[in-house]
Amino acid sequence: MSDIHAKISHLSLSAQKVRIVIDMVRGKSATEALEILRFVNKRAALPVSKLVASAVANAEENFGVSRDDLYVAKITADEAPTRKWRRFGARGRFKPVLRRSSHVTVVLRERGA
């Protein structure tokens, strides 16, 4: 049985903030991960929850695997391109504003296979 992948590209949250949330669900079963993410009070929890749910749906639809047999084998948050703004400061200077974004990838595997 192959791994089931799902990915979010260009999520408008920094990878550092997303990693706090994904560390909570790494290694957990897919249903347990979705339950944990429902109650996490972080902005990154909703997109990560949608990503895990999408991967579970991919597994059920494309591979015919039960959601109870799946677990989060690997989940990563990598840096995506940073948008750079400028805000003008005192004495003719300008202050850079960095809008960071991230790519999140999840890999589900079937337990006991």
Nearest residue to 75 (alpha-carbon basis) of 51, 40, 111:
51
* Per-residue pLDDT, 1: 57
Q: Which regions of the chain are under pLDDT 70?
A: 1, 113
* Per-residue pLDDT, 113: 55
Number of domains in the chain: 1
* Per-residue pLDDT, 2: 74
Domain residues for the domain of 41 are 4-110
| Residue position matching structure tokens 């589900």 | 108
Neighbouring CB atoms inside 10 A of 77's CB total: 24
* Number of helices followed by number of strands (H, E) in the chain: 3, 5
- Per-residue exposure over 47-56, b if at least 16 CB sit within 10 Å of its own CB, e if not: bbbebbbebb
CATH of the domain at 26: 3.90.470.10
Taking only the tens place, the pLDDT of each residue in 3-26 is 899 999 999 999 999 999 999 999
| Residue position matching structure tokens 């990878």 | 15
